[in-house]
Structure 1
Amino acid sequence: MRAAEVTTTPTWVRNRWLHVFFAATMALTLVIAVFGWSPWTSRWPAYLVIAVLVVAYAAYGRLGYDEPRMAAAFLPLVLVAALVLPAVAPSTAFVQCILFPLVWCQVDRTRTAVLLTVAVGVLSAVGLMVSGGPDALVSTLLIEGISVIGSCAMGGWISSVAALSEERRQLVEDLRAAQQSLADANRAAGIASERERLAREIHDTVAQNLAGIVMLTERARNDLADDRPDALDERLTVLEESARAALEESRVLVAAGSAGTTRDSLAGALHRLGERHTRETGTPVTVTAADGTLDRDAQVVLLRVAQEALSNVRAHAASAEVTVTLLHEPDQTVLRIADDGVGFDPAVPTGGHGLRGLRERLALAGGTCVIASTPGSGTTVTATLPTGAPKPAGAAPSLPAGPHAAATATAPVVSR
C-alpha cells in the first residue's frame, strides 16, 4: 500500500527499487513481445502499450506512490496493459509481475486494491483467451486465480506490515515529542528555579546592604546638619564598610557557579554580624555561638536566617537588645534570634518577602523555621537544621570572608 505519511526522504530514493523493478520487467516484457509466440501477424498494439506505459510511468506514474491523483491517472493504463499484452502475445502475461505491485503500492484502501487486483486478473484472463482460444480456458482460470489470490495475500500481508511500521513510526514521533516537551519543561523549571535562587540571594545580601547604606547615609546627613564631626566620621567608616560588603557579595553572586574554599566560619560570621548591627543601629547584640560540624551550604543558610532576622529587627522591632544563639545538638543545629521589641502578629499576612524567603530557604535545606511573636512582647525566630542536611538549592557557594563580609544583610527593609 502507498505510505500515507509525509516523509523528508526524496520520493525517488524511497521508491528506487520499484523503479528498477518496473524498468527490468518492461524490458523483459518487450523482449517477450518481440520474440515470443503470437497468433497475430502484427504486434504493434503490444509495442504501443509498452511504450505508452513506460512514458506515462516516467512522466507521472512514478509519482503515484505518494500522490493519489497521479495514481488515478496511471492505473487505468495498467488495466489496459493487463488486457492488451496477453491478447497480442500470451507470454507477455509475465507483465503481471509488476502490475500487481503497482496496484498495491499506489492505492490507499485495501478494498480498492483487491478490486483492482481482481480486475487485472480478469483482464489478463480475457487477453489470454483472445490469444489462446477457448481451449486454454481451464489453465487460464487456474493461473489467473492463483495469481490473484497470491497477490491479494501478499499485498494484504505487506499492507499490515506497513500499517504496523507506520504505527511504530508515529509512536516514536510521539515519544520524541514527549521527550522534547519534557526537556522544555525541565529547562523552563530550571530557569525559574535559578531565577528564584538569584532573587533570594539578592534579597538576602546585596539588597539589604544597599538598604543599610541608605539608612547610614541619612544618619550621616543628620550628623552633618547637627555639626557632629566625630559621629559623622564613624558613620562614614561604617558606610564604607557596607559598600565594600555589598561589592563583595556582588562578586560572590557573579561567581556563584564555582564553589571554592572559604576562610570563615558560621560562628565568626555571626559575631561580626552582631557587631555590625550594633555599630549601625546602636542596639546591642549579644552573640553566643561556637563552631560546629555543619557543611558550608548549611552554614550559609543559617547565616542568611540571622541576616534576615536582624534586618527585621532593625526595620520594625525598635528593640533595646537582641540575642543571637547558635546551639549544636547531636542531630540538629538550632539558631535562635530574639529581640525585646514591639513584636507583631505572625498570623497576619504581610506584604514583604523576607520571612517567606527565609522559610523557603530552610525548607530547601531540610530545615524548619518557627516565629514566635505577640504585639508588645518581642519576637523570637528559631531555625532548626538537621546535621548533615541535604545541599540547599538556593544556597550561596561559601560564607562571606574577610573582616567586613559578614555584614551582609538580607531582604529589603520591609521584609516582614
Structure 2
Amino acid sequence: MNQRPQPHDGARIRTLRRCYAGTWVLLGLCPPVIGGLNEPGAAKYWVSALSVVLALCYAVVEWFPRNPVLRPHTFLYVLVLGLGVISGLRGASATLFIATLPQFWIFAGRPRTAIAFSGLAAATAMAGAAAGQGRHAEFLTGNVVFTLVGCVASVLLGLGVRRVVEQSHERAHRLGVELEQAQLRLAEAHQRQGAADERERLAREIHDTLAQGFASIIVLAEAARAGLDTDPAESGRQLRSIEHTARENFAEARVLVGSAPQSGVVPGSVARTLRRTLDRFTEDTGLTISAELPDVECDQQTRIALLRCTQESLANVRKHASASTVGVVLAPLPYGVELEITDDGRGFVVEESRGFGLDGMRRRLAELGGELTVTSSIGDGTRVLAMVPTNGRV
C-alpha cells in the first residue's frame, strides 16, 4: 500500500536531498579534484571538468526533474560513465563511488534498477581503476575492496531503508483508514445524538404546550358539562376558555411543524407574558394568586424558559396540589433572573417524583446555564425556584 506524501514530508525530503548534494560535492567530487592539482599532465583538468559536469547534471535532474533532455535514468548512465573515466584518470575512486551510491537509490525508482546501476557503477569504477593503474597492477587492492564492500553495503542498506519506508507507509495508511473510520463513527454518533436531542426537544415542547393545553381543555370540558344545567353562565365561560386554549394549542402546533415563527411566544415583557398566563389560570381554576412581577429585562430564550416553568408549575398545582393559593415572584438579580412559584397544597416527596415535567424544566434551564430547585414535603406545599443567568443577554 502506498500513501500520498504529505506536504511536510515533501519539505523534509527536499531538505535531506539538499544536505546530501552538499555532502556528495564535498566528500565525493572535491577529493579527486584536490588530489590531482599537484600532478603533471592534462589528467587533472579532465578530472576537474568531469566533476563539474557531474555536479551540473545532478543539479539539472534535482531542480528540473521534468526537463525533456536529462531524465533520471539518463543521468545515472552519465554518472556511471563519469565514475569510470575519473577512476581511470586517477587510478582509484572508491571515495567518489561510495559517496555516489545513494543517487542510484534516489533516481532509479525501483530496487532492482538501483541494484543494477550500483553493480554497473562498481564494475565500471573497478575497470577504470585497473586501466589507470596499468597492466601489472594487482587486482585485489584497497580501492577494489572498498568499492565492493561499499556496493554490497549500499544494496543491503538500500533494501533495509526501503523496507522500513514501506512499513511506515503501510502503518500510516492503516492509521489513516482507522482515522477515517473513527471520524465516520463519530459523525454517525453526532447524528444519532442530534436526532435524540431533537426528539427530546420536541417531546419537551409538546409536553409543555400541547399536552398542558389538552389537559386544561379536558378539565374545563368536564366542568362545563357538569354545570350545563345548574350554572349555564359559568359553563359558557368555561367553553370560551376551552376555545381560547384550543386556539393557543393550534398556534403551538403550527410552531412545532415549522409553519409559524419559532417559540410561539409573542415578543414583549416577561412580566406581561407571565401576567397573562396567571390571569388565565385564575380564570380557569378560581384559585387565588399573589404575584410580584416587576418589569425585568431578558432575552427571548429566557422569557420562554420562565414561561414554560410557570406553565408547568401551574399545571402541577391544578392536577396534583389541591392548593388554595399560589404565589409567584419574579426578581432581577445581579447575575440573572429568578422566578419563585409556591403553593399551599398537599406537597409531595421530590425524590420520588418520576414526572416528565420537572426533568423537562431542569433540562430547559440547564441549556441556558440555569438551574431548578424544587422543595416540598407532604402537607407543607411546594416551592419551585428557577434561576437563569443573563450572561450579558438582553
TM-score (norm 2): 0.59
Other-structure match for 1:202: 206
1:171 aligns with 2:158: no
Choose between structure 1 and 2 for higher RCO, CA contacts under 8 A separated by at least 6 residues. Answer: 1
Q: 1:220 to 1:103 in 2, by over 3 A?
A: farther
In the alignment, which of 373, 389, 403 is matched to residue 376 of structure 2? Answer: 373
- Alpha-carbon distance in 1 for matches of 2:223, 2:335: 44
- Alpha-carbon distance in 1 for matches of 2:266, 2:234: 34
- What are the superposed Cα offsets for residues 157-179 of structure 1, whole Å, 9 maximum, x if unpaired? 22222222222222222222222
In the alignment, which of 179, 188, 191 is matched to residue 187 of structure 1? Answer: 191
- Alpha-carbon distance in 2 for matches of 1:282, 1:261: 25
Contact 1:274 1:286 in 2 (8 A): no
In the alignment, which of 153, 157, 177 is matched to residue 157 of structure 2? Answer: 153
Other-structure match for 2:293: 289
The one-letter code of the counterpart of 1:355 is L
Other-structure match for 2:388: 385
Instruction: Report how far residue 262 of structure 1 moved.
Output: 4.2
Q: 1:389 to 1:383 in 2, by over 3 A?
A: farther
Other-structure match for 2:322: 318
- Correspondence 1:1-400 to 2 at 5 A: 3=1, 101=111, 150-224=154-228, 226=229, 228-255=231-258, 262-347=266-351, 349-388=352-391
- What are the superposed Cα offsets for residues 382-403 of structure 1, whole Å, 9 maximum, x if unpaired? 2222233779xxxxxxxxxxxx
Deviates more, 1:364-373 or 1:266-275: 364-373
The one-letter code of the counterpart of 1:370 is T
Q: 1:155 to 1:302 in 2, by over 3 A?
A: same
Instruction: Report how far residue 360 of structure 1 moved.
Output: 2.2
- Tell me the C-alpha RMSD between the 2 structures: 3.9
The one-letter code of the counterpart of 1:251 is R
Contact 2:263 2:304 in 1 (8 A): no
- Alpha-carbon distance in 2 for matches of 1:389, 1:221: 50
- Alpha-carbon distance in 1 for matches of 2:339, 2:274: 10
Identity among equivalent positions (%) equals 38
- Alpha-carbon distance in 2 for matches of 1:342, 1:253: 34
- Alpha-carbon distance in 1 for matches of 2:198, 2:336: 28
Report runs of 4+ in structure 1 exceeding 4 Å deviation: 100-104, 141-150, 256-262
- What are the superposed Cα offsets for residues 80-138 of structure 1, whole Å, 9 maximum, x if unpaired? xxxxxxxxxxxxxxxxxx9x94699xxxxxxxxxxxx9xxx9xxx9xxxxxxxxxxxx7
Q: Structure 2: where are the runs of 5+ without partners?
A: 5-72, 74-107, 124-138
- Alpha-carbon distance in 2 for matches of 1:327, 1:358: 18
The one-letter code of the counterpart of 1:310 is L
Instruction: Report how far residue 309 of structure 1 moved.
Output: 0.8
Task: Give the secondary structure class of the aligned counterpart of 2:329.
Answer: strand
The one-letter code of the counterpart of 2:316 is N
* Length, aligned pairs only: 276
The one-letter code of the counterpart of 1:212 is S
Q: 1:229 to 1:390 in 2, by over 3 A?
A: same
Q: 1:223 to 1:196 in 2, by over 3 A?
A: same
The one-letter code of the counterpart of 2:162 is I
- Alpha-carbon distance in 1 for matches of 2:158, 2:299: 71
Instruction: Report how far residue 260 of structure 1 moved.
Output: 9.9
- Alpha-carbon distance in 1 for matches of 2:263, 2:386: 24
Instruction: Report how far residue 330 of structure 1 moved.
Output: 2.7
Instruction: Report how far residue 353 of structure 1 moved.
Output: 1.3
Task: Give the secondary structure class of the aligned counterpart of 2:342.
Answer: strand
Task: Give the secondary structure class of the aligned counterpart of 1:205.
Answer: helix
- Alpha-carbon distance in 2 for matches of 1:356, 1:258: 22
- Alpha-carbon distance in 1 for matches of 2:393, 2:268: 21
Contact 1:298 1:389 in 2 (8 A): no
Task: Give the secondary structure class of the aligned counterpart of 1:342.
Answer: coil
The one-letter code of the counterpart of 2:391 is G
Q: Structure 1: where are the runs of 5+ without partners?
A: 8-23, 25-97, 105-116, 126-137, 392-416
TM-score (norm 1): 0.57
Instruction: Report how far residue 373 of structure 1 moved.
Output: 2.2
- What are the superposed Cα offsets for residues 265-324 of structure 1, whole Å, 9 maximum, x if unpaired? 211111111111112112132332122121111111111111111011000111112121
Instruction: Report how far residue 147 of structure 1 moved.
Output: 6.2
- Alpha-carbon distance in 1 for matches of 2:227, 2:286: 15
Task: Give the secondary structure class of the aligned counterpart of 1:383.
Answer: strand
